[in-house]
Each structure stands twice: as structure tokens, then as C-alpha cells.
Amino acid sequence: MKIRIGSRESKLAVIQSEMVMEAMAQTVPDAELELVTMKTTGDRILNQTLDQIGGKGLFVKELDQALRDGRVEFTVHSLKDMPMEVPEDLPLVAFSSREDPRDVLVLPEGSEHMDPSKPIGCSSRRRQLQLKALFPEMEIRPVRGNVLTRLAKLDGGEFSALVLAAAGLKRLNLENRISRYFSTEEILPAAGQGILAVQTRLGVDTACLEGIRDADTAACALAERAFVRELDGGCSSPVAAYAVTEGESLTLTGLYVSPDETIVRKGTLTGDKSQAETLGTRLAEILKNGV
């Protein structure tokens, strides 16, 4: 049996796909696993922000086509980089256990403090909005490219600091670059941050994914994505959501920002984790309507 796994070709994407493949090998040791990498449209266009070129869907378009063409059986994604609407014929079938969901501050190598004459590099509107409250005196400027490309720009003197996801740095064995962890109260993470998602096409046997699936993470992912989906939050929206489970209970914290960014509301809702998506939708309605 041969199983082909599709991935973006960045170093982080490959590492994450290999993590999934290692778990698959434990479940189906006799299978031949092959990694198929490809460059997506989002990886090619680096001189514009995501909202200018079409959003997160540009990171999955080529991978989706490879699934539909039968060139791969599964694709692996960072869940936070996936559009909230997933095609019916290409379902998400596994969510990994969650890595550290927090955002972090990264300084240039050898630096101990931010240089106030240089901007903080950060493209996400979600991060930008929350960073402004923490560092009102600092300029924040967009930065594109994979993690290693961004770090090269930082160390080359373009920025005073970067804000990145802890999960990506840890998976790249670059945890030593982290200067400060932001608590989830300081910067609420993106929906799905730290979670790997496996996607397939209808009809593919998914039994090989049993070693990857994490039920608690899946509940958190569904709640967070339902919250963002209800608010129609795309890549240019500051919307954020983060859920945790305790036993059969799930607590979701969400951030709502009005389109003109004059209204900012943050709230929390707790309920049964079996009703994760309903919780996400309900919290979004509460915050949007201010009730």
C-alpha cells in the first residue's frame, strides 16, 4: 500500500508533514509513505499582504487540486492557515494534539531590546490590533515569507522584532530565538493556532490516521473555526478565538472587532465539548450583537 502526503515545500511545512507521516507509520507500518511537496500561489507572491492577493485560500489551492487529481491521498496544513470554509469533497479528517498556541516576540540575534526606530514585523491584523495595545509607541509593518525568510529580514536589520507563532519556532527547533511569550490574555491566538490538520478527498480510507487524531483538540478546533466563520472572518480580519477543554467541558474565548475597528469586544463561553460548533456560533452572535 502506497500513501502519498501533499505538503507546501517550506521547511516548516515539510517538518509538520513528516510528523504526521511518523504517526501514520506507527498505525500502518507496512505502508509505503511518500511526501509530495509543492509551491503554492501564496508562497510565490511575497510582495503583497494576503488580503490584497486573495486570502488564505492561496496556500491550499494547489494542494486541493493535487487531492482532486489523485496525485496525493492526504494533505497536511497548519490549521490557522486554512480558510474557514472547506470544500465538501475535501473534508478535514484529523486534528493533531496542539502545540503551544501562544504568539511570541523574536528579537534580532544578539539584541536584548527592541529598537524604537524600527518597526515590529507582523502582517496579521489580529496581531497588529492587539500589539498596538501592548506597544502603542511602536510602528507595526507587514512582513511576508516563511519563518526562515522572516528571520533573515529581522537579522538583516529591517525590523526591531517579529511576532510569530510559538508552535512554528518549536517545530523548527528555533525555540532559542523566542525573547518573550505573550499570554493568551495579552494576544488571543488565531483559530487553530498550533494544530495540524489532515485533509483528504471523499472515498479515501482514513484508518491510517488513528494515531494522529486528538478528540479534545478537534473539539477546540471546531469551536474556534465556528466562531470565526460566523463572523465571516477572513485573513484580513482581526478576529481571534481560543478554546480549552477540561473533562467534558469546553471554554471558548473570542475576540470580535467591527469592520471599521471602532468596536472591540472580547468574551468567554463555556459548555459541553460535544456542542463545540454551537458554542462557537453562539459566542460570535453574543459579541457581535453586544448582548
Give the domains, in start order, of the chain with CATH numbers: 1-97+195-213 (3.40.190.10), 103-181 (3.40.190.10), 214-284 (3.30.160.40)
H or E segment and range at residue 161: strand 161-165
Distance CA 267, CA 75 (A): 34
Can 64 be counted among the known catalytic residues? no
Catalytic one of 43, 51, 69, 81: 81
Instruction: Report residue 186 CA to chain centroid gap.
Output: 18
User: What is d(CA 46, CA 174) in angstroms, rounded to the nearest whole number?
Assistant: 23
Closest Cα partner for 236 from 216, 259, 252? 259
C-alpha cell at 39: 509551491
d(CA 25, CA 151) in angstroms, rounded, equals: 33
Summarised one tens digit per residue, pLDDT across range 196-220 is 999 999 999 999 999 999 999 999 9
Is this prediction's pTM over 0.85?
yes
Q: Which of 3, 18, 146, 8 is nearest to 64 (CA)?
A: 8
Residues 6+ apart with CB under 8 A from 237: 125, 126, 228, 231, 257
103-121: average pLDDT: 96
pLDDT, tens digit (0-9, with 9 covering 90-100), for 151-184: 999 999 999 999 999 999 999 999 999 999 999 9
